[in-house]
Amino acid sequence: MAGALKESVIAQLADQVESAQREARAIAKLTDQWPDLTVADGYAVQAELRRRYLADGQRLVGWKAGLTSRAKMKQMGVDQPCIGFLTDAMARPESSAISTADLVHPRVECEVAFVTAKDLQGPGCTAEMVLEATDYVLPAVEIIDSRYAAFKFDLASVIADNCSSARFVGGGRARYASELDLRNLGVVMEKNGEIVAVAAAAAVLGHPAEAVAMLVNVLAEQGERLPAGSFVMSGGITEAIPVQPGDSVIARFQELGSVSMRFVQ
């Protein structure tokens, strides 16, 4: 997918997003400055960010699908999902203390993560192909953090910001997808001992494997495939809940165990 903007403009926009991410600083959405920014341009900025982070020594460990539920698309005012990349610098251990000092306004959401055993190549990737290529699934919590002021953005801008990727925590019990009814898998999220969200995984495009297939097809538009051994977060099942220092969060997944963490300054 070739962006229409000149490389120098892509680099300039990547500078803005990169410094906002590194300095945990909110900025105006990119389309305030470039109203004609397209989804393809957003992915070009995201690819430039990935190139820079990998050149700096971070390791690509996987991908994420975002904006995968109708409710979330409506909440954020967009009409299609997005994808983002995950590096080792974003991973946090289960039950750990996660600092918010390097985040702008973090929110947590529960997701099913897939680990693949075979390469997946689009276009035309389907949920069935994803399930056939999946080694196992595990529960995960994504900590998203839009670098845009008040979480206000459009699709091109959020894609340029790597789909709000910030931190992620995998844990619980790894299971073969074939042993589970992933569509009806229930999740309960608690914050500070109170239930703050309850949902079933069908909230993610009807089935979380659909979101992974979408991701593979978007990668194909960028001339890329999903290699075997990839970790893929399939999108928020629950709504995203704001967190601050002092909060502790536990996500309980039916059949997959739980994932917990606490937030500190």
Contacting positions for ligand 0L1 (CB under 6 A): 64, 66-67, 72, 76, 142, 144, 146, 151, 158, 163-164, 235-236, 240
How many residues does the structure list for the chain? 265
Question: Quick one: 71 or 117, whose CB is closer to ligand 0L1?
Answer: 71
Number of amino acids touching Mg ion (CB under 5 A):
3
Least separation in angstroms between residue 72's CB and Mg ion is: 9
Q: Is 142 in the site for Mg ion (CB under 5 A)?
A: yes
- Residues 214-253 close enough to bind Mg ion by CB under 5 A: 236
Question: Quick one: 42 or 236, whose CB is closer to Mg ion?
Answer: 236
Which of ligand 0L1, Mg ion, none binds 211 (CB below 5-8 Å, type-dependent)?
none
Give 35-39 contacts, CB < 8 A, sequence gap 24+.
37/5, 37/13, 37/156, 37/157, 37/160, 38/3, 38/4, 38/156, 39/80, 39/155, 39/156, 39/159
Both tokens assigned to 28: 């105006």
Given phi > 0 = left and psi -120 to 50 = alpha, else beta, which region is 172?
A: left
Which of Mg ion, ligand 0L1, none binds 189 (CB below 5-8 Å, type-dependent)?
none
Residues 6+ apart with CB under 8 A from 135: 115, 116, 117
Which of Mg ion, ligand 0L1, none binds 67 (CB below 5-8 Å, type-dependent)?
ligand 0L1
Angle value at C-alpha 46, between 42 and 47, nearest 5 degrees: 115
Question: Quick one: 70 or 179, whose CB is closer to ligand 0L1?
Answer: 70
Contact, 60 vs 185, CB < 8 A?
no
Least separation in angstroms between residue 191's CB and Mg ion is: 17
Chain residues binding Mg ion by CB under 5 A are 66, 142, 236
